[in-house]
Amino acid sequence: MESMQQYIEQAAELVSTAERIIVFTGAGVSTESGIPDFRGPDGIWRKYDPEDFTIDKFLSDSKVRKMHWDFLTTGGLNLTQAQPNPAHYAVAELEKMGKLYGVVTQNVDGLHQKAGVSENMVFQLHGDLSHAKCLSCTKRYPMEEIIEWMKKDIDEPKCGECSGMLKPDAVFFGEQLPWGVLMESEKRSRSCDLCIVLGSSLVVYPAALIPRYAHQGGAKLIIINMGPTELDRMADIRIDAKAGEVTPKIIEMAKAKMRAR
Ligand code: NAD
Ligand code: ZN
């Protein structure tokens, strides 16, 4: 059994020699920013019914819509104040090192961009919660604006232009993923030389195909996740620890190795 330090050292070696790195992230990369994941010990599914997160329920049931807006404004998932943690900054560092080929994320919190990763390098497979969209005329509203409306004690926000129904601009269960984003993510993951998974149980598809594509394309695979993942057997390096503690150490060590060459 190798020690944590040895795994970190091996991961740093892979980072230091890689040229095109895809970082694939899930809710676990943001728990250290105070945003709950779905399946962890304090996960959202302990308090909410996953059924209520389907698009059909949202469209058909005003009580479910109200629950969503409460959840986003005063409840568990008000993301407007959330700040990146050391894992997000470590990923941004990879871009500065000229090694980042893309961040493919299941997250809807925008924290990779807040940490400094370029907009065009972040592929948000499940959309994002920075905006809501009118389902009739497609006008988009910043979530901050909607949160202000909700403070005025309205049950459900409506489009200011056409009174249409608004929906948070994230992908709900039962909705299609954004096609172009998915295609570009697949293309890049198939041609990367290293894929680093941070904080994902890798059970949600098609998102979890991304590290599989990377592996099929011959890339090395590092998985950093607290608890087991579906692809542990494929990983070249598997680290069971907090992403915010381990990732910066790997990046710093990789930089030291590069300086020493
Ligand atoms: P998940 O909840 O299925 O898995 C998260 C994994 O991260 C778990 O295995 C958990 O043990 C691990 N984890 C928790 N904290 C960690 C830490 N500090 N370091 C390392 N690992 C940690 O989440 P998922 O696989 O991303 O997929 C579920 C869905 O959740 C996605 O569709 C995503 O859109 C959505 N989601 C996103 C956010 C967000 O944007 N921050 C929050 C909740 C859910
Ligand atoms: Zn409208």
Please determine, for residue 222, whether its predicted confidence score (pLDDT) is greater than 80: yes
Please determine, for residue 242, whether its predicted confidence score (pLDDT) is greater than 70: yes
Contacts of 49 (CB under 8 A, 6+ apart): none
Query: Is 126 in the active site?
Result: yes
Question: Does ligand 1 have an atom closer than 6 angstroms to the CB of 109?
Answer: yes
The residue-averaged pLDDT of 37-61 equals 85
12's tokens: 């740093």
pLDDT single digits (tens) 75-94: 666 777 899 999 999 999 99
Q: How far is the CA of 159 from the centre of ligand 2 (A)?
A: 5
Sequence letter at residue 72? L
- Which of 37, 71, 81 has most ligand 1 atoms within 8 Å of its beta carbon, as the pocket-test mutant? 37
The region of weakest confidence among 38-52, 96-110, 221-235 is 38-52
Question: Does ligand 1 have an atom closer than 6 angstroms to the CB of 199?
Answer: yes
pLDDT in the model for residue 46? 79
The pLDDT mean for the chain works out to 93
175's tokens: 């909705």
Question: Does ligand 1 have an atom closer than 6 angstroms to the CB of 37?
Answer: yes
Please determine, for residue 38, whether its predicted confidence score (pLDDT) is greater than 70: yes
- The residues placing their C-beta within 5 Å of ligand 2, an ion, are 134, 136-137, 139, 159, 161-162, 164
Residues 158, 145: Cα–Cα separation, whole Å: 12
**Which domains, ranges and CATH numbers included, belong to the chain?**
1-35+81-126+177-261 (3.40.50.1220), 36-78+129-170 (3.30.1600.10)
The region of weakest confidence among 27-36, 40-49, 144-153 is 40-49
168 CB-contact burial (10 Å; exposed 0-12 / middle 13-18 / buried 19+): buried
Question: Does ligand 1 have an atom closer than 6 angstroms to the CB of 242?
Answer: yes
